Amino acid sequence: MGQPLPIKWPGQSGKEYQFHIYPRGTTFDGIYPGLYMYLKETKPNTWRTVYIGQTQDLNERQKQGYKREQIDAAGATHICIHVNYDGEPARLAEESDLLVRWKPECNEQGIQKDVPPSTMRQVRPVPSSVLNPWLKS
């Protein structure tokens, strides 16, 4: 896999995940299941998450080009990988932990804090009576 730059990314839970950063387009020998993040290097060794996902095969997922246009438009410069052989439920749990913390702009659930407000979606609050109909507003 070459000489990657190691980095730890904390999730919302506080758990830290060991990742390795590679230039975009890097391919890996073998099949590696795990998490991947597309990153933008905003200044030397300073990273911003653009997209977080999980897969059974890191090479195959890159070839599929999922959300490539959005990721390109966000200026992703690197891919960051975390290998996880514990199966899809474990990968999904780690992905969720990271998504809640980092809210990458190309994932459906959020926009990072440093994105200009003009690009943020307007979201209306959901009344508690809708979320929990047995509670009074």
Amino acid at 118: S
Average pLDDT over residues 17-44: 90
For the CA atoms of 130, 135, 136, 137, the dihedral, rounded to the nearest 10 degrees, stands at: -50
- What pLDDT does residue 117 have? 34
What confidence score (pLDDT) does residue 6 get?
Answer: 87
CA atoms within 13 A on the CB side of 47: 24
At 100, the pLDDT band (50, 70, 90 cuts) reads very high
Residue 27's pLDDT band (boundaries 50, 70, 90)?
confident
Distance CA 62, CA 123 (A): 31
pLDDT digits (tens, 9 = 90+) for 33-81: 999 999 999 888 888 999 999 999 988 867 666 788 999 999 999 999 9
Note whether 119 and 111 are within 8 A (CB): yes
Structural element, H or E, at residue 49:
strand 46-55
Q: Partners of 53 in the beta sheet?
A: 36
Tokens encoding 99 = 């998504």
If you search the block for the tokens 């890191």, which residue do you land on? 58
Whether 133 has a pLDDT exceeding 90, the answer reads no
Q: Is the dihedral of CA 89, 38, 68, 103 positive or negative?
A: positive
Alpha helices (runs of H) in 1-137, residue ranges in sequence order: 58-64, 68-73, 88-102, 128-131
Domains parsed from the chain with CATH numbers:
5-113 (3.40.1440.10)
Per-residue pLDDT at 26: 86
